[in-house]
Structure 1
């Protein structure tokens, strides 16, 4: 199976921290998904959930991950990162297949 996403070291550390400090049950997976697709484009979602029949199950860096089968194509090439700055803090999704602004 091809793993459609990558999780950066910073994001992995934060995910593990959430699992440990928020008492996420052992039978829950990290769910990665997409929402929308209208004028504003896709928005991405992270959460913890139990597997459903329509899910692809995978393990990334030891983290159990779920992606709904119909979302896999929208997540191909995505890197999940974690940003922590003075102005904001949170997970970000960056498509590694798209050229960087300085590459244009």
Structure 2
């Protein structure tokens, strides 16, 4: 069964904090592009929405996924982590057969 990605409450809360701190209330885009040390890499950034994006929304915060990236992100979880190595948005992707140590690239 294929499901769209899910965004955690922690990720939506961090987006709201970013908007409050910086005044930049653009949605978070989570995409997949070719490259990285494992074949594909995540592209996570603030961006303007496009007409064909899937929009995941909660409490006025939005996460965008483009239609090309969507199959790679089925059933994935988009989260925010604050660890010793740094604070960042992360993707827990059950479709990835392997990933690199930095967590930004993966293979299918």
* TM-score scaled by length of structure 1: 0.70
- Residue 5 of structure 1: aligned partner: 5
Residue among 84, 87, 94 paired with 2:85: 87
Larger proportion of strand: 1
* TM-score scaled by length of structure 2: 0.68
- Cα deviation digits, residues 9-57 of structure 1 (max 9, x gap): 22222111112211114xx32211012257613221221222234x324
- Residue 66 of structure 2: aligned partner: 68
- Deviating 4+ runs (over 3 angstroms): none
- Residue 32 of structure 2: aligned partner: 34
Aligned length, in residue pairs: 95
User: Aligned partners of 1:65, 1:36: CA distance in 2, in Å?
Assistant: 21
Runs (5+) with no aligned partner, structure 2: 97-108
Cα displacement (A) at 1:85: 2.0
- Residue 21 of structure 2: aligned partner: 21
Larger proportion of helix: 1
User: Aligned partners of 2:80, 2:47: CA distance in 1, in Å?
Assistant: 20
Runs (5+) with no aligned partner, structure 1: 99-104
RMSD: 2.6
User: Aligned partners of 1:37, 1:51: CA distance in 2, in Å?
Assistant: 23
Query: Are the counterparts in 1 of residues 28 and 44 from structure 2 also a CA contact under 8 Å?
Result: yes
